[in-house]
Structure 1
Amino acid sequence: MARALFPYGLALLAFGGLTGCSSEATGARAALSAPEGAEYLGVQTQLLDANTVSFIVRMRGARDRADVVAYARCAAAQYTLIRGYGFAQHVRTNVGRSGDIWEGDGGFVISPDLPAGMRNLDAEVIVDDCREQGIPTV
């Protein structure tokens, strides 16, 4: 009997895994949506070495730290494409707030190949998503 149920168990497990991915992807997209009424005040790019870049971003109307990090990611992704590379790795983003102005200093390593690690960005995918969400790039 257990052998007869095995294929059904696999199908249920696979379907359950796919539905989990679907809702997770939707949540990730919602986190990157631009805040209503946000003002993006510009990006300063600082090349730290051949492949390490800092992006200073400033904005007004951010909901929280995540909006500032999203702006830095969008800038990094576009810069990566401008340099002819396909990938960036997010090292860190320091975020501060002074009054209603938020500032982020995001560090990224850009690369032509997919780097090892967990915080990698496919630049083309990120730039497309930024445009869709209304978040400016460089």
Structure 2
Amino acid sequence: MRLPLAFCGALAACVAGAPPEALPERPVLPPEDATYLGSQTRLLDTDLVNFLVEMQGARDQRDAGAYARCVAAQYALIRGYGFARHIRTIVSEEGGVWRGDAVYTVSPALPPGARTLDAEIEVARCREDGIPTI
């Protein structure tokens, strides 16, 4: 089934910023003046989790996405899982506060797909880079 071109464009316009595939990229280093304002975790299903993060001083949406990724990796470890797979991240900015709304699956074994995280390795990177994991 082919969707009309206008519909595809309208659908793409609903997602602010870069497509979700671009958000899990790890920035070179976090911004020096970043302030991490906290995170919330919402269990959507037994292995599907929503992470809400807020920060100031982000350069762009990748920094908020990196913060969400770090929180997701730590959550996987807390639950006794070794892996997470990125589903989607939506980032917005208002008044200098960047908000990330990310969804990941967590699992004990490496899930299929290209956007997977080894939670132990990711948490170590986050600590090394100075990005909070909670």
Q: TM class, shorter-chain normalised? A: 0.7 to 0.9
How many residues are treated as equivalent by the alignment? 110
User: Given the alignment of the two structures, is residue 111 of structure 1 paired with residue 107 of structure 2, yes or no?
Assistant: yes
Deviations 1:7-47 (A, max 9, x none): xxxxxxxxxxxxxxxxxxxxx76x15211110000000000
User: Given the alignment of the two structures, is residue 74 of structure 1 paired with residue 70 of structure 2, yes or no?
Assistant: yes
Residue type at the aligned position of 2:126: C
State the 4+ residue runs in structure 1 displaced beyond 2 angstroms: none
Would you say the 8 A contact 1:32–1:67 is kept in 2?
no
Larger Rg: 1
Which of the two has greater helix per residue? Answer: 1
User: How far, CA to CA, are the matches of 1:52 and 1:100 in structure 2?
Assistant: 29
Gap regions ≥5 residues in structure 2: 1-24
User: What RMSD, in angstroms, separates the aligned Cα atoms of the two structures?
Assistant: 1.1
Partner of 1:102: 98
User: How far, CA to CA, are the matches of 1:116 and 1:74 in structure 2?
Assistant: 20
SS of alignment partner, residue 86 of structure 2: strand
Query: Could you tell me the TM-score, scaled by structure 2's length?
Result: 0.80
Gap regions ≥5 residues in structure 1: 1-27
SS of alignment partner, residue 33 of structure 2: coil
Corresponding residue to 2:48 among 52, 62, 81? 52
- Identity rate of aligned residues, in percent? 58
